[in-house]
Amino acid sequence: MSAPAPSPLAIVDVDPAKAPARQDEVLTEAALAFVAELHRRFTPRRDELLKRRDERRAEIARTSTLDFLPETAHIRADDSWKVAEAPAALNDRRVEITGPTDRKMTINALNSGAKVWLADFEDASAPTWENVVSGQLNLTDAYERRIDFTDERSGKSYALKPAEELATVVMRPRGWHLDERHLQLDGKPVPGALVDFGLYFFHNAKRLLDLGKGPYFYLPKTESHLEARLWNEIFVFAQDYVGVPQGTIRATVLIETITAAYEMEEILYELRDHASGLNAGRWDYLFSIVKNFRDGGAKFVLPDRNAVTMTAPFMRAYTELLVRTCHKRGAHAIGGMAAFIPSRRDAEVNKVAFEKVRADKDREAGDGFDGSWVAHPDLVPIAMESFDKVLGEKPNQKDRLREDVDVKAADLIAIDSLDAKPTYDGLVNAVQVGIRYIEAWLRGLGAVAIFNLMEDAATAEISRSQIWQWINAGVEFENGKKATAELAREVAAEELAAIRKEIGEEAFAAGKWQQAHDLLLQVSLDTDYAAFLTLPAYDQLV
């Protein structure tokens, strides 16, 4: 690879006196030149695909339905193609832990005993410039084994276990919709996805190969096989640019949008030389249903988010189709999140929650999933036990083809098949969680423990979406109150007052509580539904 010319990328809106430590190690001329080339080649197509999302949403608003694509029926009918064989480091994925790439989490996740760590630059990370840069450094430092951490409050020190005991890293960049305002070319910001992917791949692809692993990715918020095709084109270019063999990259796609659920096989097909599997994520999936069918009438109104479990008929159709699709094509099927955060004070709460986690992971293993997600190290052995019982010594169960599964297009959007209704308590919870999460996000925290659950941006998205949907559908709750903007404002004001009383005036003033309250109401009540709350929120992120 020849020496690059000086990068044309400009670093903007970054105070040199407050720049992240060791920033120059990440933003080298060579790395920035690579990101600039990604931007030139692929951002125009990214922009076209974002416009296509809007067009498809308009079509859904007109028809109130979705179907499998007739123009790609030949791909689904062709039984001959499979995705590339999994590399050894990704063949056994029975438990995956998720979390942001701060220094403490990097060490704890790698040491957790999970097979995989989803190192998250997306929903579990607020994209402050500090988080973007330091997250890259933490991963490289971990690969170089020059990472440690001492907790200032407890004095406890953290260091990596031996290499053979560490989880394999699968990195998740930001979704296509988010830009990185601090890196610009000719005044235009670079997509956050290309910044996150580009810096990580450039610095670590060869390093990871030397460690016997590789540059592995989770691809979020994908809405169509055309978006998967764009990623594949990026992978092909990137591998040639850096000088690693084609097929070195492996990608797992999160099927967390309702439109992607109708294109699972096509997504795997587009990425087949680089595909590793598909994942089923609940909160973003429900958020996508509300977003796309928000004007579809009463039959698309979701009940309280906690009432929509993976056993709901339309969710069961989605997960079973995912397992069948993956195994038909030789890919891993990865299940959903166990988000419980163990209590330090209440053993009974932990006991009940652990049993729910065990039942959920037993179900996923029994359904044919090859692995599943947890948010806390204490949940790793519970999930591991569930999959060990089914897998034994096998690394996965891709040989279970689930040919008994027969999902029709209508099954995936049969929201009214769920016998549950929105409740007033559900509205209160949505407001509570929304305010508390957004406040933390505005302070730079993307993974937040709220009411003993580890929440990320997907939680806030489904919370504000349900408030919006219930108001616009004129839902009447069991207590006789009707979902209105006035009621949402009343509940939000009560929650803000309760938080002030709970944490005290000094902590309240030091936080971003009023800002979070206002932003939640903005994205919940505006007639013009914001595609992602993180778009207006990013404008307020320091």
Q: In angstroms, rounded to a whole number, what is the distance separating the alpha carbons of residues 535 and 180?
A: 11
Whether residue 372 is found in the same domain as residue 432: no
Which pLDDT score is estimated for 3? 56
Whether residue 382 is found in the same domain as residue 469: no
Which pLDDT score is estimated for 344? 87
Let me know: does 111 contact 301? Beta carbons within 8 Å: no
The three-state secondary structure class of 372 is: strand
DSSP string computed for 318-347: HHHHHHHHHHHTT-EEEEEEE-B---SS-H
Q: In angstroms, rounded to a whole number, what is the distance separating the alpha carbons of residues 435 and 463?
A: 10
- Residue 201 inside a domain? The answer is yes
Count of structural domains, the chain? 2
Which pLDDT score is estimated for 126? 98
Q: In angstroms, rounded to a whole number, what is the distance separating the alpha carbons of residues 484 and 498?
A: 21
CA neighbours closer than 13 Å in the CB half-sphere of residue 352: 5
Last residue of a domain, one of 385, 410, 435: 410
Which pLDDT score is estimated for 58? 97
Which residues, in sequence order, are CB contacts of 296 under 8 Å at separation 6+?
60, 61, 64
Which pLDDT score is estimated for 5? 60
Which pLDDT score is estimated for 4? 53
Helices (H), 329-418: 347-367, 380-391
Crossing angle, helix 29-63 and helix 225-242, to 10 degrees? Answer: 170
Structural domain of residue 477, as residue ranges?
Answer: 421-539
Q: Which residues are catalytic?
A: 172, 456
Whether residue 21 is found in the same domain as residue 156: yes
Whether residue 436 is found in the same domain as residue 366: no
Query: In 3D, which of 257, 233, 249, 389 has the Cα closest to residue 322?
Result: 257
Q: Mark the ranges of the chain whose per-residue pLDDT is less than 70.
A: 1-6
Whether residue 72 is found in the same domain as residue 130: yes
Burial of 123 (0-12, 13-18, 19+ CB in 10 A): buried
Query: In 3D, which of 153, 330, 335 has the Cα closest to residue 254?
Result: 335
